[in-house]
Amino acid sequence: MRENFALTEAGFKVGLIYRLHYFASLLSVPVSLLIYFYLWKAIFAYSNATVIKGFTLDEMVSYYVLVMLVGFITYSECDKWIEESVVRGDTIMALLKPYRFIVWHYFFELGLTGLGLIIEILPVFVVGFFFGLKIASIPYLILFVISLALASALYFLVTFIVGLTSFWLFKIGGLRRVKRSMLAFLGGSMLPLTFFPETVQNIFLVLPFQYMRYIPILIYLEKYSIPYSITLLGIAATWVILLYVLARLMWNAAFKKFAGAGT
């Protein structure tokens, strides 16, 4: 395990070099929250309602604060790193080290995003409370933390799988955009999923995307009963296992492709 955390340390150091990037993304937080705040305030005023699709104005604003929070915590960009190494031709560096490829990237990412967390999480909370975010009750807080862990695992696995496709496609900018927009629409970071028709929502229930954003947020907002929340976490955990198996199969194929060409 110690050698795994050495990678985390390396990730942390690389993150430090690009630290300005985090501060830049931090600046975007209050700006986009202000936009969402005034947008929804206008929508609520216009429709003369106190609750829209199950959300009050306060909850709606909290929803977007949480979108950002969950986004920062589960952040991964290993697809970018894998793509870069494939294009530059130095995947060999990771392969000559005694690690499984997924382990190598996971622990490196942990350091990279860990730094982001330290820099970003507190300011987002402060700004969030300023916009009326409430602290959830203890049981929901515990469920929220579990859902976050699952969301991180899911997001990492999806990102890793997208990254592996660069062994065949080389440049994967397009796929990465697809991943982001899937998350925006199907994951709920654009709009709460209650805005979709009931049948569509049922389909979303069996897809992995909403477990990366929407479900943790709604758990924090205490929108689900505790037993139902636990069921949802079970589905998320199942997806973690499925995606892990898929990632493994993909990696075996990618290594065959790589080692067959030997570049």
Positions that interact with another protein (CB under 8 A): 2-3, 5-7, 9-10, 13-14, 17-18, 89-90, 92-93, 95-100, 256, 258-262
Token output for 17: 């070099």
Q: How many CB atoms lie within 10 A of CB 7?
A: 21
Closer CB to another protein, residue 107 or residue 214? 107
Closer CB to another protein, residue 10 or residue 149? 10
Closer CB to another protein, residue 227 or residue 260? 260
Closer CB to another protein, residue 107 or residue 239? 107
Ordered DSSP codes for 28-90:
HHHHHHHHHHHHHHHHHHHHT-S-BTTB-HHHHHHHHHHHHHHHHHH---HHHHHHHHHHHT-
**Could you tell me the smallest distance in angstroms from the CB atom of residue 253 to another protein?**
12
**Could you tell me the smallest distance in angstroms from the CB atom of residue 251 to another protein?**
12
**Could you tell me the smallest distance in angstroms from the CB atom of residue 84 to another protein?**
10
**Could you tell me the smallest distance in angstroms from the CB atom of residue 5 to another protein?**
8
- Return the biggest CA–CA distance within the chain: 64
**Could you tell me the smallest distance in angstroms from the CB atom of residue 174 to another protein?**
16
Closer CB to another protein, residue 3 or residue 58? 3
Ordered DSSP codes for 136-189:
PPHHHHHHHHHHHHHHHHHHHHHHHHHHHTHHHHS--HHHHHHHHHHHHHTSSS
Q: Are 37 and 127 in contact (CB under 8 A)?
A: no
**Could you tell me the smallest distance in angstroms from the CB atom of residue 190 to another protein?**
33
Instruction: Please state, in angstroms and rounded to a whole number, the distance separating the CA atoms of residues 87 and 82.
Output: 9
Instruction: Please state, in angstroms and rounded to a whole number, the distance separating the CA atoms of residues 173 and 141.
Output: 36
Closer CB to another protein, residue 49 or residue 93? 93
Tell me the HSE value of 68 on the side-chain side, using a 13 A CA sphere.
Answer: 27
Q: Are 109 and 156 in contact (CB under 8 A)?
A: yes
